[in-house]
Amino acid sequence: MSENQVAILDGTTFMVCDQSGDILPSTDAPHGLFAHDTRLLSKWVLTINGERLSTLSIDDVHYFENRFYQVPGRQDVYVNSTLAVRRVHTLNNGLHEDLTILNNDRRPVDLTLRVEVDADFADLFEVKDATARKKGRHYRRVDDGRLVLGYGRERFRRETIVSSSVPAAVDEEGLTLDVHIEPHSRWSARLSALPDLPMPRGLERLTIPGRTARTGRDKQRDLLEWLDQAPRLECGWEPLRITYRQSLIDLAALRFSPFLAEDKSVPAAGLPWFMCLFGRDSIFTSFQALPFAPELAATTLRVLAFRQGSRVDDFREEEPGRILHEMRYGEMSIFEETPHTPYFGSADATPLFLVLLDEYELWTGDADLVRSVEQEARAAIDWINGHADLTGTGYISYQRRNTKNGLENQCWKDSWDSISYRDGRLPGFPRATCELQGYAYDAKMRTARLARTIWNDPAYADRLEREAADLKQRFNRDFWVADGEYIALALDGEGRQVDALSSNMGHLLWSGILEEPKAAAVVRHLMSPALFSGWGVRTLADSEARYNPIGYHVGTIWPFDNSFIALGLRRYGYADEAARIAAGILDAATFYDGRLPEAFAGSARAETRYPVNYPTAGSPQAWSAGAPLLLLRTMLGLRPVGDDLVIRPALPANLDFVALLDIPGRWGRLDAYGRGPAATNRRGLQPAPSQLSAP
């Protein structure tokens, strides 16, 4: 998101406008009002007496509401406006704009207020790719004092209904209001743009964002309840409290209720392009949030189990047992111009589903949910052992079957150039990236535990443990780059090592597949200047041919990636290294007002005093919002063991203390407290540190 754009969101409904509060047609920005993958407003421009407004300040009140304080026209130091305008945008089953104009003059004023409106009903993929593929018919009409903008193509229909709370002259291009204001008086009105989206048969009762309509006050109360239910953070570093609160707010904003999930919520992946159900992203985010909002994991597991693949479909890359990658409801998906109904082109979501299932039970003790998805979990294991093993070597690998618009790379680094040899060449397919094997190992070990303790199937558990042990032995042999002492990024279709040095191997620490001596070497590489910038671990080392500090997956730093690497470091006993990564990421968050972006540049911290922006990073992003939560868990060393919560704190150098109070789990509610090196070493009163990383 550009700094010149202003966004509000509520589940899968969101609006992006300029700093004047207007939506202007743009080929290079996602301006508009969107719901369910369709742009429902492509133009919304307010003028007073023919002039646009100048913004004095913007107040981001809530994630679903913002306020613009403005004056008409272009003001300078020689002209003082006697008119003040306040525009309040609120999302509530559409856009509501509450307008207030104050006349601060001694004389009355007569104004002509005009709102120019249009809707192109572009599919989100059309907006993202800057393409125009419309095959249907646009229409517009004035209907009983309202402007109806519409689009239809066979059974697909979308409409936006624009209206005013006060009398207005309505034409096919917008609304005109004649306004008279007495001296030192005010005038108010509400303008609304409400979508009309017919739902699939049987789902007509569902509202636009996929949940029951709520007023702004309802949403504010819901947000306060969400924040109140989360553990309370106390610490000696105010930026951490700000980041923690912002993370919780962003997760609240990204919640939505998928069809058939009633009033339960899952996290959408992120603004602006991924406001939908994403298998991988929803799983990772739910895992990060388990000690804070375990209900996200429960709904994510149920929804993904319900949508699990059941047949072989090359277009959608569906296979029995496979967990979906992405679910869309736009025109291009409905007419199968894209495969997202749903699309299954993800090689990691299926093992990660099993990882989350076990972790959820460890934290909550909810054995009923584990029993309810037993068949889906077994089908996921069958997919790992069957359809996912494209080379017959026992490794998960991927090669797209949809060669028109399927994803080439089906790991979390899914851009076209993310998987390469050290010299920059791209490997052939199938590709078996290293972290996929770690996820498979972890999935089998965790599912074995569930089979033994909950499904009462010890034979199945023994089999899975044997398979996991065999996988671990083969993996440490086949992926180990002996001359460099690190893990290869992948194996290519011929079984050759794809030898780039990358962050992927950090996820192997989290999964536990690495042998101890190899883990020590991997940690040395992760914390070396080639990978660790001072802010975090780069996606690709700066020694590699394709390294680019502002390349999407070839040199940037992803907060979510680093949060799981830090958790893995703690698993293998590298507490100080985990604390360094946590400190770098949390320091970076202070430059983003507590809201970590999708990614930022991999530039060395020694070269810049601030993290360099990645130019098109999405924000807010669910797994970036989840990163500080997982880092808190890692710093405090939180681990569920039976009905107890183990606490083994290891804080960054400059952090005095952290207390996380009322952590939910199978134990009820517990508190965790940790003191850092700074508290031990300081004598007397000292000011709070400006950053967590040690100088």
Alpha carbon distance 220, 670 (integer Å): 27
Residue 205 has pLDDT above 90, yes or no: no
Separation CA 684–CA 551 (nearest Å): 46
The per-residue pLDDT for range 370-392, each reduced to its tens digit, is: 999 999 999 999 999 999 999 99
Residue 264's pLDDT band, with cuts at 50, 70 and 90, is: confident
Structure tokens belonging to residue 625: 């919002």
User: Are the beta carbons of 402 and 314 closer than 8 angstroms?
Assistant: yes
Tracing tokens 């989206």 back to the chain, one arrives at 197
Tokens 């679910």 found at: 327
Query: Could you tell me the pLDDT band of residue 566, with boundaries at 50, 70 and 90?
Result: very high
Stretch 210-230: mean pLDDT:
78
Higher-pLDDT residue of 678, 265: 265
Tens of pLDDT along 83-115?
A: 999 999 999 989 999 999 999 999 999 999 999
Q: Tell me the sheet residues that pair with 180.
A: 110
Full DSSP string of 46-58? EEETTBPEEEEEE
- What is the pTM for the complete model shown? 0.94
pLDDT at 688 over 80: no
Beta-strand ranges (E) seen in 19-108 are 32-35, 38-41, 43-48, 53-62, 65-72, 83-91, 95-103
**% of the chain at pLDDT higher than 90:** 86
**In the predicted model, what is the mean pLDDT of the chain?**
93
CA distances from 616 to 5, 131, 197, 428, 597 (A): 12, 18, 30, 29, 10
pLDDT at residue 461, rounded to an integer: 98
pLDDT, average across residues 532-561: 98
Note the pLDDT of residue 1: 60
Say yes or no to pLDDT of 167 above 70: yes
pLDDT in tens, 651-672: 998 899 999 999 999 999 999 9
- Omega cis (within 30) before 272: yes
Tell how strand 480-481 and strand 486-487 pair up.
antiparallel
pLDDT digits (tens, 9 = 90+) for 577-607: 999 999 999 999 999 999 999 999 999 999 9
What is the structure's pLDDT at 684? 41
> Residue 636 is encoded by which pair of tokens?
């405090």
Structure confidence at residue 692 as a pLDDT band (50, 70, 90):
confident
Q: Quick one: the chain helix, strand, coil %, rounded to 5?
A: 30, 25, 45
Q: Average the pLDDT over each of 183-197, 229-243, 677-691 and give the range with the smallest value.
A: 677-691
Q: How confident is the model at residue 79 (pLDDT cuts 50, 70, 90)?
A: low
Task: Give the pLDDT band of residue 393 (cuts 50, 70, 90).
Answer: very high
Q: What are phi and psi of 249, to 5 degrees?
A: -65, -45
pLDDT (0 to 100) of residue 197:
81
CA distance 287 to 563: 11
Q: Please choose, from the candidates 147, 149, 150, 157, the residue with its C-alpha nearest in 3D space to the C-alpha of residue 191.
A: 147
Q: How far apart are CA 593 and CA 245, in angstroms?
A: 11
pLDDT single digits (tens) 121-133: 999 999 988 887 7
| DSSP code at position 505 | G
